[in-house]
Amino acid sequence: MNASPPVSATPPPPDGDALAPVYAQYPFEVDRAEGVWLIGPHGERVLDLYGGHAVAALGYGHPGWTEALAAQARTCQFQTNALPMSVRTRAAQRLLAFSQLDFASVFLVNSGAEANENALRLALRMTGRPHVAAVEGAFHGRTAAASAVTWGSQSWYGFPRTPFDVSFLPRGDLDAIAAQVTERTAAVIVEPVQGLAGAVDLGAPYLAALRERCDAVGAQLIFDEVQCGFGRVGAPYAAGLYGVMPDMLTTAKALGNGFPVAALLTSARVSATLKIGLLGTTYGGGPMACAALLATIEAIESARLLENVRRVSAYIRRTCLTGPVSAMQGEGFLLGLRTRRPAKQVQAELLRRGILAGTASDPDVVRLLPPFILQEAQVDLLRQALTDIGA
Ligand SMILES: Cc1ncc(COP(=O)(O)O)c(C=O)c1O
């Protein structure tokens, strides 16, 4: 009998920890987290004003959310969308009710990019047209269609061509809307408050102008509320805040408070074009995702967290125009602090003082995306740190 070959020692990863080297790493390791605090391996505490890219809406260790996930895991952790489950129906119904918008159906998926990919696909299919307009500064995700409408994606796009013609509308330019959104246009996709661009609020008049032009030429209006939606602007969605109703709306990030869940909400007209087999996903709409969504809405509503977002956001605006901060932009808990020196420097100084904030594609904007439970006393720590950093 041949002896089995000797087991060779696992070769060391080529460079460090075996993770693909695609993310720059902050100099702080998270061991655990509670409330709005991240805690390092030696007990060091960092105030989290970034929420894991706008995801941790309830902060960390929320008892209701944690128990809902544990209970769903005990009950049934997964089943296909082809088998009816009441948790899935309840999640869709509750999301529609939470939105306070007149959508007819919900398609549950896993990520913001996947929701956008499906929205664009529906618009192109419905209209049979070859062109999509997006807005300069936009970020819509990393998949083929979503990144085709992402501003500046050429440097990492990778595909030989985009799946449709794309043009970018300069922000605020109403003439450009008339010139670029035409009978060739299947859809306009827009973040009502742009996230990665630095919390750039496009405002009601601009969004209304997009709505009007889409109606005039028969194009679909898609609101990407992946970052700004689900309460972050202090209202359920920016569409409601600005009184402009899109044909489709995509939502993700805060939706599951960290459990991957995203959704595409469609108007009655768009929903009428849906049929069996047109859209699909394995994990989207899984019972754990649905339980996470239900528990997140329950927590937001029962603790009136959107009121908290509005009140504490106003407090940040009133008190944090200090040190390197020269102006503020954005809405609710999607705020951009315009800095007098490079935002990356200010971000590093904040982290040295125990506060995690984000940056943006605008090099002079520090971005805040805190959990909805943030309190004034914690904002005071930010104000003090900014004052200490100085102009
Ligand atoms: C506005 C917006 N749309 C889409 C996406 C993509 O979402 P995901 O990373 O879940 O695919 C993001 C992610 O940052 C985003 O901010």
Centroid of ligand 1 to alpha carbon of 112 (angstroms): 5
Rg from Cα positions in the chain: 22
How many whole angstroms separate alpha carbon 159 and alpha carbon 262? 25
What token pair was written down for 374? 């943030």
**What is the predicted pLDDT for the residue at 7?**
52
Residues of the chain with pLDDT under 50: 1-6
Centroid of ligand 1 to alpha carbon of 192 (angstroms): 13
Closest Cα to atom 7 of ligand 1: 112
Within 10 angstroms of residue 207's Cβ, the number of other Cβ atoms is: 23
- Per-residue pLDDT reduced to its tens digit, 183-223: 999 999 999 999 999 999 999 999 999 999 999 999 999 99
Amino acid letter, 76: C
Centroid of ligand 1 to alpha carbon of 352 (angstroms): 28
CATH of domain 32-54+304-389: 3.90.1150.10
Q: Helices 86-99 and 287-302 meet at what angle, rounded to 10?
A: 40
**What is the predicted pLDDT for the residue at 17?**
83
Ranges of each domain in the chain: 32-54+304-389, 63-302
**What is the predicted pLDDT for the residue at 10?**
55
> Measured from the CA of 194, which atom of ligand 1 is nearest?
1
The arrangement of secondary structure in 63-302, i.e. its CATH architecture, is 3-Layer(aba) Sandwich (3.40)
- Per-residue pLDDT reduced to its tens digit, 12-51: 555 678 999 999 999 999 999 999 999 999 999 999 999 9
How many whole angstroms separate alpha carbon 234 and alpha carbon 13? 45
Buried b (16+ CB within 10 A) or exposed e, 45-72: ebbbbbbbebbbbbbbebeebeebbeeb
State whether the Cα torsion 90-94-95-101 is positive or negative: positive
Within 10 angstroms of residue 264's Cβ, the number of other Cβ atoms is: 27
**What is the predicted pLDDT for the residue at 5?**
47
Centroid of ligand 1 to alpha carbon of 219 (angstroms): 23
Ligand 1 binding pocket, CB closer than 6 Å: 53, 111-113, 116, 139-141, 191, 195-196, 224, 226-227, 252
- Per-residue pLDDT reduced to its tens digit, 268-287: 999 999 999 999 999 999 99
Amino acid letter, 348: A
8 Å CB contact between 177 and 213? yes
Centroid of ligand 1 to alpha carbon of 387 (angstroms): 32
